[in-house]
Amino acid sequence: MRDVAALAGVSLKTVSRVVNGEPGVSPDVRDRVRAAVGRLDYRPNLAASNLRRTGARTGLVGALVQDLSNSFSAGLLRALEDAARRRSTAVLAASLDEEAEREEALVHDLVTRRVDGLVLMPASERQDYLVAELRTGTPAVFVDRPPRGVDADSVRVDNVEGSRAATEHLLDLGHRRVAALLDIETIPTAEERRAGFTAAFTARGLRPDPRLVVPNLRSTDEATEVMHALLALDDPPTAVFTGRNILSAGAVRALAERGLRREVALVGFDDFPLADLLDPPLTVIRQDVQRIGATVADLLFERIDGDTSPPRHVVIEPTLVARGSGEIPPPPRTR
């Protein structure tokens, strides 16, 4: 900047004015400065300018999600990005892979970078450490999972209702031997989905077979394996509820490998691309990622703009999308 000022024959302050489009600079001088900027490839240093600027913002928000390559995380990020762009804000994104230590380290890093706000799909069970971080004034919005040990805004779907609806859908068709493939138990979302599954049975005075309820599945491959084992039972399930998109894929694969896709009913939590092109098309509980992301962004930017009202917890209702796989009736001879 000093070089630019020298080349244009003006003071630093004048260059600053031109660069920031401030008024009070004669056209003549402005053009000289612009020319110098071009000649020297000068780029203002945003960090340095923010240093002195009062009430400065970095125009940066951090988003810590489960896995950037998963369609749910990716869709969320995309919705956040769209909202951020309207505010000339950039998004720093990272995957946590359900590792709590990584979460804590990344949050600390982002706060140190002075991001204007934080979107968090937490991997940790509790976020007490966040209290100190947020005291620095960085607002945070939780998504998909509720905050624990810290008070902050959150946006998520009603997992209990969603999985209850999925399960009732299967029970209504007459299924009784319904399996459930679920995510890691420490994730609140997984627990809620399990609760909804059980609640559907209870409401009818029934009880799920505990052997058919398998939690702690971390990958598509694990789900495939478990599904195979369940189907090999003497008294195999006639229907399955899968608690997450990657687990649905695993279940479909096992069914396909056994030629049972049209025999065993399947309802999955969370929609994903092409689910409607499977054969039979997959019946799912859909979370409106677009809407969730937009709501997260709304909350976050309101906080960034200074809103200090008590934390809000938005719950979005998921919807059952019946496409075929969930409408397969139980075989006649089964009870």
Partner DNA sequence: TTGAAAGCGATACCAG
Partner DNA sequence: CTGGTATCGCTTTCAA
Q: Decide: 268 and 283 in contact? Cβ < 8 Å.
A: yes
Closest CA to 94 of 113, 82, 111, 77: 77
Q: CB under 8 A: which stretch of 7-15, 91-99, 140-148, 163-171 binds a copy of itself? A: 91-99
Find the binder of a copy of itself among 3, 12, 22, 48 (CB under 8 A): 48
CB atoms within 10 A of CB 26: 9
Find the binder of a copy of itself among 33, 111, 121, 239 (CB under 8 A): 111
Q: Is 17 in the site for DNA (CB under 7 A)?
A: yes
Residue identified by tokens 């913002």 is 57
Q: Is 227 in the site for a copy of itself (CB under 8 A)?
A: no
Shortest distance, CB of residue 159 to a copy of itself, whole angstroms?
22
Buried b / exposed e over 248-283, threshold 16 CB at 10 Å, is bbbbbbbbeeeeebeebbbbbbbbbeebeebebbbb
CB atoms within 10 A of CB 179: 27
Find the binder of DNA among 38, 39, 45, 204 (CB under 7 A): 45
Shortest distance, CB of residue 21 to DNA, whole angstroms?
10
Q: Is 69 in the site for DNA (CB under 7 A)?
A: no
Shortest distance, CB of residue 8 to DNA, whole angstroms?
8
Q: Decide: 58 and 115 in contact? Cβ < 8 Å.
A: yes
Q: Is 109 in the site for DNA (CB under 7 A)?
A: no
Contacts with DNA by CB under 7 A: the residue count is 29
Give just the sign of the alpha carbon dihedral 215, 218, 222, 223: positive
Q: Is 58 in the site for DNA (CB under 7 A)?
A: no
Amino acid at 59: G
293 Cβ contact list (under 8 Å, min separation 6): 75, 76, 77, 78, 79, 80, 82, 83, 143
CB atoms within 10 A of CB 83: 19
Q: Is 5 in the site for a copy of itself (CB under 8 A)?
A: no
Q: Is 139 in the site for a copy of itself (CB under 8 A)?
A: no
- Interaction with a copy of itself in 234-273: which residues (CB under 8 A)? 249, 252-253, 256, 261, 272-273
CA 156, distance to chain mean position in Å, is: 9
Q: Is 294 in the site for a copy of itself (CB under 8 A)?
A: no
Strand, coil or helix: 314: strand
Q: Is 136 in the site for DNA (CB under 7 A)?
A: no
Q: CB under 7 A: which stretch of 9-17, 81-89, 268-276, 283-291 binds DNA? A: 9-17
141: partner contacted, choices DNA, a copy of itself, none (Cβ within 5-8 A by kind): none
46 or 233: CB nearest a copy of itself: 46
CA dist list (Å): 106 to 28, 109, 115, 119: 48, 5, 12, 12
Binding site for DNA (CB under 7 A): 1-2, 9-14, 16-17, 19-20, 23-26, 28-30, 42-45, 48-49, 51-54
Binding site for a copy of itself (CB under 8 A): 38, 41, 43-48, 50-51, 58, 60, 67-69, 71, 74-75, 77-78, 81, 85, 90-95, 108-114, 132-133, 135-136, 249, 252-253, 256, 261, 272-279
